[in-house]
Amino acid sequence: MLMLTRDEETGETMNDRQLRDEVMTLMLAGHETTATTLTWTWYLLSEHPDVARRLREELAAVLGGRTPTMSDVPNLVYTRMVIEESLRLYPPAWVTVRKVDNDDIIGGYHIPAGSTVVVSAYVLHRNPTFWPDPERFDPERFTPERVAERPRFAYIPFSAGPRQCIGNTFALVEAQLILATIAQRYHLDVAPGHRVAPEPLITLRPKGGMPVIGRTV
């Protein structure tokens, strides 16, 4: 698809360098972020057996042991809520940065042209105005009714605006399918004694990885 793409104005195709850069961006932006999302999700499920149980009930009802396919995605409703809540507490892209073109006033603060504004999903997703009891892992926050009650920009794991994540939908579907496939066969418990701590690098990773012990369901 990338090789066939033509510039709308010049009609040119991409040269090899551009193609390579596009592929690298898709692989890097698309792999680590989704992998990290799943790592945090396994951690949260390991800490919340009640949520893990409910997730497995949904998987048993919808899939009955089958490997999920694209057509199952709309029915894996709770699975999706678990991932969305995991992305709230541990957004892999924990900060995004914007350069300011023109002087502006935001929330009473003067923002001079040329300055850099840092927006943190991690902080916003813990704002108690939008997220009561913010540290609590609660997938119920993502029922359609509760989502409709919140301002749209209270939740920005994929950023917002014209440069928001282009892989947003793909990432959610991919995470949903992987979680459903693995969770119906295995429990992954965080290794006893392992201290879990976030490490805010380019992505928000668990410091020292996430050693787990697997058992079959």
Nearer to ligand HEM, 163 or 195 (CB): 163
Residue 148: CB partners within 8 Å, gap ≥ 6?
Answer: none
Catalytic, 10? Answer no
Query: Among residues 68, 92, 139, 206, which is the contact residue for ligand HEM, using CB under 6 A?
Result: 92
Catalytic, 158? Answer yes
* Using rule CB under 6 A, residue 94 touches ligand HEM: no
Catalytic one of 33, 39, 79, 96: 33
Residue 40: CB partners within 8 Å, gap ≥ 6?
Answer: 86, 89, 90, 92, 206
Instruction: Specify the DSSP element, H or E, that contains 97.
Output: strand 95-99
Catalytic, 137? Answer no
Catalytic one of 79, 165, 203, 216: 165
Instruction: Specify the DSSP element, H or E, that contains 186.
Output: strand 186-190
Least distance between ligand HEM and beta carbon 216 (Å)? 27
Nearer to ligand HEM, 171 or 210 (CB): 171
Ranges within 97-156 binding ligand HEM (CB under 6 A): none
- The answer to whether the CB of 204 falls within 8 A of the CB of 122 is yes
Nearer to ligand HEM, 19 or 26 (CB): 26
Give the DSSP letter of residue 152.
Answer: G
Distance CA 99, CA 152 (A): 22
Distance CA 86, CA 44 (A): 7
Query: Among residues 14, 29, 173, 196, which is the contact residue for ligand HEM, using CB under 6 A?
Result: 29
* Using rule CB under 6 A, residue 37 touches ligand HEM: yes
Binding site residues, ligand HEM, CB under 6 A: 25-26, 29-30, 33-34, 37, 92-93, 96, 157-159, 163-167, 170-171
